[in-house]
């Protein structure tokens, strides 16, 4: 009798344990579902998006299909993310509300969106790209003008220079700025800056340099208003300390105000634009001795 009671107790415990396991196995896994690849980037630059699907199933099982070829893979949760293991290689990712971003060590990132969300998310991506393109439009092309130095504490002195600029939209939504003055050229510029939008009329430096000063993390920005690019700031690097300001207008436009014109406006700028010439990579001007 004692053995029967013990057996029944053990059986009940095993049934309870099995029930608990079944309940645990039935817990919702929000990541489960079929995902479509909506974007591929290489070091932040959008590339042609491949035809790819990813199926996440229970128990960490998954299947990845890329350009018509597929195979079994494995997925697992991490602290705040989701890892995908492909051919023994772990690719870290971030999953949130049906959106999975995977990024390799080589800088390639893939965006997968759960199938039921893909249509709306694709429209959102297209809208974001259109907004970036609209932002880039006025911040592009060749520009010319001047920059001046005041309150100089170095060898540069208080002076005034004609200035040229070239702004090139990049596929990642940024704008690449190249600045050179009358003593420099595109191959030896005074500034190379990666710009990002900051409101409707400003762009802020994400990376680059100005007069040998690194700009990553610095509060360096340009303003765009009334058809002019302007900036006023303070330069503090090495032995050079000075206030400066710059003013640029699109190449080919005339400067109606004589007090605002660059120094070589009459002798260099006007002859070139009247001849329909593009902005050269180096200013060829007759300098005063």
pLDDT at residue number 247 = 97
H runs (alpha helix) in the chain: 2-25, 115-136, 270-274
Query: Is the domain defined by 33-134 classed in CATH 2.40.128.280?
Result: yes
Query: Is the domain defined by 140-274 classed in CATH 2.40.128?
Result: yes
Q: What is the mean pLDDT of each run of 10 residues along the chain (289 residues)?
A: 40 37 56 96 86 95 92 90 91 94 91 97 93 92 96 82 96 94 95 93 95 86 95 87 95 94 95 95 78
147's CB contacts (< 8 A; 6+ apart) are 160, 161, 163, 181, 244, 245, 246, 247
Which pairing describes strands 81-86 and 89-96: parallel, antiparallel, or unpaired? antiparallel
- Whole-model pTM? 0.72
The reply to whether domains 33-134 and 140-274 share a CATH topology is yes
- Closest by alpha carbon to 47, among 93, 113, 108, 129? 108
Terminus-to-terminus CA distance in the chain, angstroms?
A: 118
CB-based contact 145:163 (threshold 8 Å): yes
Cβ neighbours, 10 Å, residue 75: 24
CB-based contact 32:116 (threshold 8 Å): no
Cα of 279 vs its chain's centroid, Å:
28
Residue ranges per structural domain of the chain: 33-134, 140-274
């Amino acid at each position: 009798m004692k053995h029967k009671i013990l057996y029944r107790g053990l059986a009940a415990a095993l049934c309870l344990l099995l029930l608990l396991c079944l309940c645990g196995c039935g817990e919702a896994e929000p990541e489960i579902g079929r995902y479509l690849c909506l974007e591929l980037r290489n070091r932040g630059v959008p590339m042609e998006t491949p035809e790819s699907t990813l199926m996440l199933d229970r128990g960490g099982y998954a299947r990845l299909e890329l350009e018509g070829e597929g195979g079994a893979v494995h997925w697992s949760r991490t602290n705040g993310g989701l890892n995908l293991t492909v051919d023994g290689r772990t690719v870290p990712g971030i999953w949130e509300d049906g959106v999975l971003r995977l990024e390799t060590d080589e800088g390639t990132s893939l965006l997968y969106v759960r199938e039921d969300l893909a249509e709306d998310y694709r429209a959102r991506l297209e809208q974001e790209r259109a907004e970036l393109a609209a932002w880039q439009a006025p911040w592009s092309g060749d520009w010319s003008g001047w920059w001046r130095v005041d309150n100089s504490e170095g060898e540069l002195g208080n002076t005034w220079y004609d200035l040229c600029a070239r702004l090139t939209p990049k596929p990642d939504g940024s704008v690449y700025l190249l600045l050179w003055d009358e003593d420099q050229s595109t191959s030896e510029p005074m500034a190379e800056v990666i710009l990002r939008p900051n409101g409707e009329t400003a762009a802020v430096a994400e990376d680059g340099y100005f007069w040998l000063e690194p700009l990553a993390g610095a509060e360096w920005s340009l303003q765009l208003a009334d058809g002019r690019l302007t900036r006023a700031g303070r330069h503090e690097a090495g032995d050079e300390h000075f206030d400066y300001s710059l003013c640029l207008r699109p190449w080919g436009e005339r400067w109606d105000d004589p007090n605002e014109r660059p120094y070589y406006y009459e002798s260099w700028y006007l002859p070139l634009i009247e001849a329909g010439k593009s902005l050269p990579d180096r200013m060829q001007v007759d300098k005063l001795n």
